[in-house]
Structure 1
């Protein structure tokens, strides 16, 4: 086994032994009371021959490894649009499979529950170094150990190139999803060194991270790696069959060939060996082709997004919604919820929902004709801007989440919520409680510039308080599998849902008219 020599570090932080060797973390200055270990490898770098391959075991090192800095973010497009530049985001790269652990500096006599956060970003952006990836406000309570990690994104993690696999290039599917399972295995095997309890792991995530949670619930290899789950604003049915993912992979290869040809200039010849093209392409060229595919796909295939898990019949044997319906999803306690107006922020560069007139017409054309009138009644003015945004968001987030809660409640404890609080400014600009708005409050980052701007016209105290209550629910759930006595368990008989607002309340079967309209409009999801 190759061994990497890491220079010894001064004794300025706690040292623990993990898979691969010893790591020294960072002890935060008081009164934070947090020990942090960052950038620990949980798998081998997925580069060279390991590109488009399942995560391989960690490469061991000698000495004590510096674990005071975050690892590279997964390769992703930078802030400059691809039409003008194909630059890679700062501090990103393919060698990205690292994990971070944050624990209370004061240790108790018993191991603590563990909360593992999966970042969002549409499976094309984001990282564990985002504000939500550190979880200080969770750790400062002294009640949990907090874990975050990076996983492969975009074409490198979420396009299915198995149709092009060869003996020399044995590509595999669901790479980002496999990374997530590898990270959870690392937690199982190593978290006791950080005073965490490997039998009390709660996995949670938002947006794409929420999709990761609902998908992991249907992955056989993930069984037993977590005891509870929380899915915030998940798009649970953004998991696709091989026919669709194969089509997108083919389109991507065509785009990549054109990009490489243009870069090489006139008279150059690009290899027709697709496996060699994919294996040898630069990260910049892969990102450029992925950005084109990301923009085009929601237009060409309304309601679809190309970077998502694939039902490959192996690692992910069936659609997660089918697994939930049939009781084959992991039968563990689950919280699922969405925000009041998820779709209002999906404009411009992130316009991926079926919210435009053309995309809405395409979905109506695929739905039973008898469902059209009830759907129009549920969304008055459709395809107007507001009704279109709500329709698109309900298609992507809310309605499939109701299916998950209905199905899972038949087999295990399930809790449903809706986050409704919106500061005054967000209401004035028409965003309201949009996608992701709860994150700054939940993670105690209401003083971030964006959050301060959101609350500049009022609502700061109520926003902070809503986040504190939500964080309390999450901590209770991580400790004892239920969020609190004021939040009833969900059942199909009542569909009791906690509405998180300036004042929380419980509502039975909120938006029942919409739910029934969608049952007829998407009978394949109704179950």
Structure 2
């Protein structure tokens, strides 16, 4: 489908969604994208469900997003758009979310702005969910508290799962760039372009945009830092629980990982779809469910263009966006993600034997940090550090080495319901504190008590994050000064209260950096093979010790 035909097909729908005769009881913004009427909530103006690209439906499925043309009249922006199609939440999962509607027509964003904003810093949030689930409309991501700190806050939807990340030889052949996959990332870039072009009308400064995300959202932040197509669209970055994993190459088997195109072809065969036309003919929800059942898991693809190379390689070369960064991870990341753990060993002796076999000369250092006399805790900590801790410290070290402001944190906070469930400092546990939404967590989330201490921690974290978005320096009135990582390995320890410390988990980063370096040199993946399932570590390579 050509761009012109997509515009024509969407015309009737667009006109039906816009009316010039709305009740004059909401704020109206005249943006280059078109006029919109939002909702006034006290001192804020909120605009929901703003489309930033044409719906990627029908023949447009698995094509790059096309910018939404300006709409006529005044578009109502009082309701969130549909979430992108995704599998249902696992029953009882603390991350379960209720979405009012799911659709392939989901490329919308939302804006919270101070009523009198002008030239305000912009905070663009990318939700997590393994590139498989989530929505920018989830109550925990409500932007009001950060907007009341003087930010213009934007949340977005982007294509998920097989609809957002499928690579396939036929799709590459269709593409003018001869690549495929990365559609969800291209959506994020399109949303950032929309922000650059339109956010001034909402009171934001397009030259002072911070892109932020958690988990898969933080992976997306790294993708954006690595992608030439996102260059110049943001000025700062926040990566919460990011993971710099081995990324599939589009066409080649590298680091033992199947090429992304081959994975797409294999999926089509598994689903009985002989070509892309057959896959496009499938219902989006049915396709998503079938792909998940067949074992498809979404990742970006190293295609030489949207993602030029492995993240770890690009950061080593200094080819990433030269922006200040705030990055960190949580002490109990894996306590709520136990599916990431390898099977438990028979006993402590079996654990130690496996570590010695897998880590060779580095086994003593590994066992000193993750000892055999506490196998469960050691496994939790080893997987946490190899994925999240190493990534966070690598990010701040890389940016700091370029002379950029770089700030590291550890979220190590517990409260009664979380600790009772064995979830101290669990994955994503910092989010309601950053957003000031401790009363609006998902339904199975360990309930946060409404206490002065919890509110004070939330206030401090939101203040730090807002200050970083404003100036590139996360400082909060009445709280410890957060020093850059380059100053003696400084970091902020969020426990019961914020505590400024140095030397996070001394030796952790050096150990995992050495492991990753050896594996990269030997063309071995450096993730999903941690601890007792580690393959024999190759000998030291040049520059790895």
On whether the aligned pair clears a TM of 0.5, the verdict is: yes
Equivalent of 2:233 in 225, 228, 233: 225
Residue equivalent to 2:280: 279
Aligned counterpart, 2:380: 389
Question: 1:84: which partner in 2?
Answer: none
1:185 is the counterpart of 2:193: yes
The residue aligned with 1:52 is 62
CA 1:92/1:365 → structure 2, altered by over 3 Å: closer, same or farther? Answer: farther
2:46 & 2:371 partners in 1: Cα distance? 51
Counterpart position of 1:318: 309
Give how far 1:92 is off.
0.7
- The answer to whether the 8 A contact 1:127-1:133 is kept is no
TM-score between the two structures when normalised by the length of structure 2: 0.82
2:459 counterpart SS class: helix
| Structure 1 vs Structure 2 CA RMSD | 2.9
Closer, same or farther: CA 254–462 of 1 in aligned 2, 3 Å: farther
**Which among 505, 514, 521 is matched to residue 515 of structure 2?**
521
User: Superposed, which structure 2 residues align to 1:8-407 within 5 Å?
Assistant: 8=20, 9-28=22-41, 32-79=42-89, 90-105=100-115, 107=116, 110-141=118-149, 143-162=150-169, 165-167=172-174, 172-237=180-245, 239-242=247-250, 243=253, 244=258, 245-257=260-272, 272=274, 274-293=275-294, 296=295, 306-347=297-338, 351=339, 353-357=340-344, 368-381=359-372, 384-407=375-398
TM-score by length of 1: 0.85
Give deviations 1:242-295, integer Å, cap 9, x for gaps. Answer: 3332343234223322xxxxxxxxxxxxx52x21222212112211123224xx
SS at match of 2:72: strand
Per-residue CA distance 1:370-399 (angstroms, 9 max, x = gap): 223432332123894332222222222111
Please report how far the alpha carbon of residue 165 of structure 1 lies from its aligned counterpart in structure 2 after TM superposition.
Answer: 4.1
Query: Retained in 2: the 8 A contact 1:344–1:390?
Result: no
- In structure 2, C-alpha distance between the alignment counterparts of 1:136 and 1:336, rounded to whole Å: 23
Secondary structure in 2 matching 1:522? helix
Report what 1:509 is aligned to.
503
Distance 1:366 1:48 in 2: 51
Q: CA deviation at 1:54?
A: 0.5
Equivalent residues, number: 484
Question: Which one has more relative contact order, counting CA pairs under 8 Å at least 6 apart?
Answer: 2
**C-alpha contact (below 8 Å) 1:25/1:36 kept by paired residues:** yes
Structure 1's consecutive aligned runs of 4 or more residues displaced over 6 angstroms after TM superposition are: 168-171, 363-366
**How far apart in 2 are the matches of 1:390 and 1:80?**
25
> What CA distance in whole angstroms lies between the structure 2 residues aligned with 1:453 and 1:203?
26
Moved more, 442-451 or 460-469: 442-451
> Structure 1: which 5+ runs fail to align?
82-87, 258-270, 298-305
